[in-house]
Amino acid sequence: LKRELTLPGVSQTIILSRISGRTKVPEDEELEKLASHKCTLCLFLSILKTEAITEKLLKHYDPNTPVAVVYKASW
């Protein structure tokens, strides 16, 4: 990506998570609660729910917030 995941004055925290699917996440780990921290979010196993993710994130992040979709990131 050639991008820093943390930037002074922007975010010093990274949350790695996923959204609920066949396996639910605990209520305290739902996307809207995580997004309320306004930190860098890295979501995995979530590509099929991009519209729902976008809707939830726009409640907490500016529409101009950079986003990246990564395929086979750990390969």
- pLDDT tens-digit series, residues 5-62: 999 999 999 999 999 988 999 999 999 999 999 999 999 989 999 999 999 999 999 9
Banded model confidence at residue 2, pLDDT cuts 50, 70, 90: confident
Alpha-carbon distance of 70 to 68, in angstroms, equals 6
Q: Is residue 44 part of a domain?
A: yes
What total number of domains does the chain contain?
Answer: 1
Q: Is residue 47 part of a domain?
A: yes
pTM: predicted TM-score of the whole model, two decimal places: 0.84
What's the sign of the alpha-carbon dihedral 17, 21, 24, 28?
positive
Q: Is residue 24 part of a domain?
A: yes
Identify the domain containing residue 31 by its residue range. 14-57
Q: Is residue 3 part of a domain?
A: no
Banded model confidence at residue 3, pLDDT cuts 50, 70, 90: confident
Q: Is residue 1 part of a domain?
A: no
- Is 11:39 a contact under the CB 8 Å cutoff? yes
